[in-house]
Amino acid sequence: MANSFLALLSRDWLGVPVALVVVGVGGGLVGVGAAWAVALGGLALAGGVLLAVGAVRHVVLVAREARENPPPGRLVDVGGHRMHVLAEGEAGAGPTVVWMPGGHTPGEDFRELHTMLSARARSVLVDRLGTGWSDVGPFPRTTAAEAEELPAALAAAGERAPFVFVGHSFGGLLVANVARRRPELVAGLVLLDPTPLEVIAFAPAGGQLAAMRRGMLLAAVRQLFGAHRGPGRGRTGQLCAAASAFGELTPAGLARVGWETVVYDGDLGDLPLVLVIPRDLIGGEAVLAGARDAVEAERISRFYLRSRVRYLAASTASRLVHTPEGTGHDFPHEAPEFVVGVVGDLVRELRVISP
């Protein structure tokens, strides 16, 4: 039911018929003739007109944004939906690098990293369905579904394995799932502080992800009726897709999808895996805010720091790299040269050992 609602809410035109229904209700109340009905009807009519103006504004802004910002890459068909793939640079004798940003954000979020690397290797940005220039796609949005869609988009765009997948945070969870499902495509993984699902299942209750999801839904409704804050291109659909994807990031959600989504110890065999993480909780101090005392704060800190290294056990060929001092979870944006250097080093290693 929730995903059916999100699928409906993602339609950029939805605000127009909703506003017309409000106008119709207002007109019906005015027709009753009673003083209370006329008063309520007048309010409904005025509100409906305002909603209609905002809804039309949203549709116009989305169309204008699409005209003024055409996709820089290719739109390829994946299951009847279009996915955007931007590929640049020459692969040479090495693997192609595929980037996946964190959250449920478009590939464009890693444009700087992509541009830097494409000078020395083949580099690919993919907008997962519900982000960037890609279609919203079907609901629910899940890691398991996206782990099938990503390789399909690469194949449809003509990109050839082997690939080095680089994923940050939630994107790290996604590319680790791709590697588990399609090992024949993957030459190596670089996981940039990937989401450890133990944190979702067992961390102290904080409500941060739930609050983010509610914020996405409220923002989607505002967008639908023209209250835009930033670019208009597809924002309603993107917010709904993100809200759907984040639905599995709860203890109850993981109980439903854990077997399909968690990458367990040994799942990746001897795949070369580089885990890149900060040394401390810089930028993540909010997780300590609810601690009752210093003892619990120390336990929470230890839990988060040790959860960060869990992906090392997924492969027998894993290694750990720490980010520059003073950087936090958002280090791909704080230290892009460092990230490109780590990825470039792995690409060069794989070029040497490839047959």
Ramachandran angles phi, psi of 236, nearest 5° = -60, -50
One domain for residues 172 and 268: yes
- Name the pTM for this structure: 0.92
Q: Which residue has the tokens 């209370």?
A: 36
Kindly report the CATH number assigned to the domain that includes residue 105.
Answer: 3.40.50.1820
Q: Are residues 267 and 348 in the same domain?
A: yes
Q: Are residues 321 and 180 in the same domain?
A: yes
Is there a single domain that holds both residue 45 and residue 112? no
- pLDDT tens per residue, range 112-150: 999 999 999 999 999 999 999 999 999 999 999 999 999
Residue 203 placed within a domain: no
Q: Are 12 and 62 in contact (CB under 8 A)?
A: yes
Do 221 and 315 have their domain in common? no
**96: helix, coil or strand?**
strand
Asked if the model's pLDDT at residue 354 lies above 60, the reply is no
Residues 96 and 173 in one domain: yes
Query: Would you say residue 256 lies in a domain?
Result: no
As beta bridge partners, residue 96 has 163
Burial 132-155 (b: 16+ CB within 10 A, else e): bbbbbbbbbbbbbbbbbbbbebbe
- Same domain for 11 and 144, yes or no, is no
Q: pLDDT grade, residue 351 (50/70/90)?
A: confident
Number of domains in the chain: 2
Same domain, 57 and 108: no
Residue 141 included in any domain: yes
Separation of alpha carbons 149 and 143, rounded Å: 10
Distance CA 89, CA 159 (A): 12
pLDDT one-digit tens code per residue, 267-322: 999 999 999 999 998 877 677 777 788 888 888 888 888 999 999 999 999 999 99
Asked if residues 220 and 240 have their Cβ atoms less than 8 Å apart, the reply is yes
247 found inside a domain: no
List pLDDT tens digits, range 84-101: 999 999 988 789 999 999
Structural domain of 44: 2-68+208-240
